[in-house]
Structure formats: C-alpha cells, structure tokens
A = this chain, B = another copy of it.
C-alpha cells in the first residue's frame, strides 16, 4: 500500500488515542503502527505483486490477486454487517478460500473462526452457537455434518455462504443462498485498513476438546504478527520459500505460515487430501522447499511404497509438532532428503513457542545421543519470552536434572487473549501470572525441555507421580501392541493406580498377565499397570486419544 494524501488526514485523527509518552515524543501515526499480519500482505502486493502466493491444483493466485480477493471478501463481509469483533466462521478444506480468509476476514474487522472439518455435527453446532458467528463460509463437499449442525445450532440469522470446489470429488450440497464466488462480487473491494488496536482479536480457534467441550481461544493481531515474523527468524524461512501445506489451515491458523510466507514472498501449495502420492507430486511439481505437519505425515512419506514416490527436487525442511517423531521415521525421511525440526506449542500460544534447535556440534555425537536430543522439544523460539517447568506441588522451578516432572508455563506476546465467553477458564489458565500449558515436562541440564505428559493425565499413585506416556512407551515396545493409552483408576489404597487401554495389532495375541509382566520388567512397581483393558481405543477429530473418555469408561465400569 502506497501513501495517498487523502488517507493521511483521517489517519492522523485516528491516533488521538495513541498520544502517550513524554510531551511531544509521543506515539504518532508515523512511528507507531498496530502490529498486524495484514501488513505483510499489503507489502507483498506492493513489493512483488506478481510472485506466486498460492496454488491449488489448476488454480493459482499471485500476491496482487490474493490482495484483491481479500479486499473483495472484506468489502462483502462489511456489507453483510461484519465489523470489529464480529465472528466469521469457516468450515473448509485447504483451498484458496481459507488462505485468503486469513487476510479478508480480519481486514473486515472480523474474527476468523476456522472449524475443524472432522468434527461431528453436535460440536460444530456448539461452536456456531458459542462463537455467535454472523457469517458461515462452508465447503459444499463437507455438508454432511454441517447440515444437521446448522439445524441444531438454531441460528437462522447466520448468513451461510457455500464454497464450491470443482477439483473435489464426492457428494456435495449447497446450504446457503450464495456461493463464495458470488459473495466476492457483492460489494466493492474494501479499503485496506489495519485494526484500530494491535490487541484486537484476529481469530478464534476452538481446542480439540480432549477434556470436554472445546474452548474458544482468541488470538490477537500483535501475537499473530510476531509469531509469523518469529517463525521466519526461528525456522530460517528464506526469501521465495515454496511451502506445501499439509497442516489444515483450520489448525492454529495453519501454524501462521500463510502470514509468514507473505513476509518472504513465498508460495503456498495447497492439497485437499493429504496422501503420499499427492504430496510427492506437489513437491516435485512446485519445487517444494518447506513443509509442516504432524509426525503421521512424516510417516506417510517415509512408508510410501516405491511406486508412489517421486525424487525430491532438493532438500525439504519439515516442521513437525504434536509428538516427537519416532526415531525410525526420522531416519527414513532424512534419507529421503527431508530435514525435520520438531516444535512444541499449544493452540493457546498461537502455535509453536519451543523448537528443537540443532547445534552443529551435535552432528558428531553417536546415533543414540543424537536421537535422545532430537526427542526433546527444545528451547524457546526467538519471540517466546519465558518457558519454565514448575514443580507440580510447590510451584517452584524444577531442577534441571532431566528427571523431576513439572508443568510447562509460558509467557510471551503470542499467548492468547483468553477463552471466549469463559472468564473462569481464562483466569485458571493465567493463574499466578503465566500461561499454564497443562503439559508435564522435565528440564534437562542443557536447558532443554522434554514433554512427559498432559498434566491431567499424570497418575499419582501412593504419592508418586507416574507419567502415563512413560508407561505407554513401554507398552509400545511389546510386539503385539498397536495402540496403548494409560490413565488413572481410583484406588482405595494408593489413591490412583495406572490402568492401560490396549489395541492389539491385527492377528497378534497377548493377555493381561503377559503385558503386566512385560511392563514390570521395565518399570518400577508403582508405575506398572494394575489392569489392561483390551479393545479399540477412541480418537478425536485431530487424532488424539481422549483420555477423559477412557477415565469415564473406568468410572462407568466401577459404578456398573
């Protein structure tokens, strides 16, 4: 955006609220601009309008086009009454619409609420109600859960807009009275405008709900700006990076990579279905240099059969989060030419705030030591102010001994505003002045953290803390175990004891006594499961195991 004289007068008036500081040395329109990732697109469209911004199959847009379409979206949303603080919900696959909504919705002043496409109708209805969405952009190929969700939400006032995708296959159904493409033509493109305050909410991301109803996490413009810029610095994202999106854009705003790419004039390649052939083809076709995704995506690349593979055009840098990738997977993908950086973060921290930064000196270490270092989540990223591990009982920092478990607490400018319409949960999350992650970790002597468990999944047996993850890791080493999940079972004598839910591999056999004995050989007595429950282990829409559900089953059994 270039300066135009007409804008100046209005803008100068708008800064009255900023006039702080010592006398004439106050914040001004010239030297204090609200931090917003919108600025990155404005600059990209100004500086290199013709660089490719996003590609999806046969569709592609340069930065000028994304800028223009975002302005059209914002103009239409404003015409529909969306203003500062209004929620625009979106349930969409990774198509250009969700990419440009990351700019167009905040440009309208609205809050972008992207919804997990794997959710059931009940939860979608809950989110539409709870977020009080005014407009709902929804993919016609995802109508099966959306139609009943809309009915249950009882929100006849919400404006439903259909995103059509002629590159998608399968059933589709229109639920609104206009398409997204029609929407873009409904009003003149909006004037480019930054938020009034960098603290304004930009997006609303519901947690996946392993512990009950999802909570609505509010991101602010300042945090998203700094996360995007910090990602460029921390990951070393270069000018002209070519990025393949396998992370859904509904997940923590696609890890803020859409905004980060605008900074470096990089392009995003989108694919609707994350499969090995689709990824290998996109990597080869677009010369992909960077990716991000869950460890399962790495495993898909590592395990793809020969006929699905294509040679990589060059090294691919891969950001992964959610869990440390298994050493065997790491080794195989590294052989393919993929360099993995593990990161850790939460929805509440606008994504990754800790990364497993590699030190050159470690290259010379033996394999086992290197694998142990790679399993650590690591150190804080450049824009993360503090990461500490606090003793679960005393609240004091744990010693850096790699053994004492504590809760990870985080402080920084990317931490959320709070939970929408939930002051109690917000105050609880910020108790004592820092953000409580609910994750349990140890602190190593080198200052790196390593996650052990979710706080609520720690089992306290006879006064001793048992990490459910540690027990699960032992169970996974048994050849018959496909999935293992360990939770606390109330116990009259010990308070709690570990109880394991196990899904066996197809055709494999093992009984309770065998698995308990297997664990006892490798674990202290108080850590060994006292019972094994066999059967299918449930998963949430993001592939996590909902341990509250397992605990509920144990309660039902006990009551029954």
Contact = CB atoms under 8 A, between A and B. Distances in A.
Contacts of A35: 413
Interface in A5-59: 5, 8-9, 11-12, 15, 20-33, 35, 39-40, 43, 46-49
A236 B379 CA distance: 21
Contacts of A47: 357, 379-380, 447
A397 B2 contact: yes
A199 B23 contact: no
A331 interface: no
A385 B39 contact: yes
A432 interface: yes
Contact of A31 (B11, B27, B415): B415
A378 B20 CA distance: 33
Copies of this chain in its oligomeric complex: 2
Nearest to A9: B433
Residue among A26, A230, A382, A383 with the most chain B CB within 10 A? A382
A201 B33 CA distance: 17
A187 interface: no
A87 to B, nearest CB: 14
Nearest to A378: B47
Contacts of A385: 33, 39
A229 B418 CA distance: 26
Interface residues of A, number: 83
Interface stretch (A423-431, A457-465, A525-533): A423-431
A199 to B, nearest CB: 6
Given A3-B397, A33-B385, A357-B47, A11 B379 contact: no
Nearest to A235: B239
Contacts of A395: 5
A82 interface: no
A264 interface: yes
A264 B430 CA distance: 30
A480 to B, nearest CB: 42
A435 B31 CA distance: 8
Given A31-B223, A32-B413, A432-B8, A423 B23 contact: yes
Contacts of A435: 30-31
A27 B229 contact: no
Contact of A418 (B24, B360, B430): B24
A379 B3 CA distance: 14
A38 to B, nearest CB: 11
Nearest to A27: B199
Given A8-B434, A233-B233, 6 more contacts: A3-B409, A3-B411, A22-B85, A24-B418, A31-B416, A40-B382
24 contacts: A2-B386, A2-B387, A3-B387, A3-B434, A5-B396, A8-B433, A8-B434, A11-B433, A23-B423, A25-B201, A27-B199, A28-B433, A29-B411, A29-B433, A30-B410, A30-B433, A30-B435, A31-B412, A31-B415, A31-B416, A47-B380, A229-B233, A233-B263, A236-B239
Task: In the A-B complex, list the 8 residue pairs whose CB atoms are closest, starting with the nearest.
Answer: A3-B388, A31-B415, A47-B379, A12-B433, A24-B423, A232-B233, A25-B417, A29-B433
